[in-house]
Amino acid sequence: MAARASSFAGFAVGRSIWTAPLGDLLARRIDHERTVARIAAGYAAIAEGFRSTPERILPQPCNKQ
């Protein structure tokens, strides 16, 4: 779940992109190379979703001094 923060514009990536690939690696269903590729693809998809979000709905930087 994401949380809004008035002083940060970006995104956080957590277990959602590596849990399944790592589980498959540990169960020996896939190899290291495939694990890395799946994690990278998950990260890239999340990053692309962030980049394609209209600017009007992205958090604005906090200008507190």
Full-prediction pTM beyond 0.95?
Answer: no
Model confidence at 2: pLDDT above 80: no
* Residue 25: half-sphere exposure toward Cβ, Cα within 13 Å: 14
Average pLDDT over residues 6-34: 84
CA distance 11 to 43: 11
Quote the pLDDT of residue 8: 56
Domains of the chain: which residue ranges? 15-53
Q: Report the share of the chain in percent with pLDDT over 90.
A: 40
Average pLDDT over residues 3-12: 59
Tell how far CA 58 is from the center of its chain.
Answer: 16
pLDDT of residue 33: 98
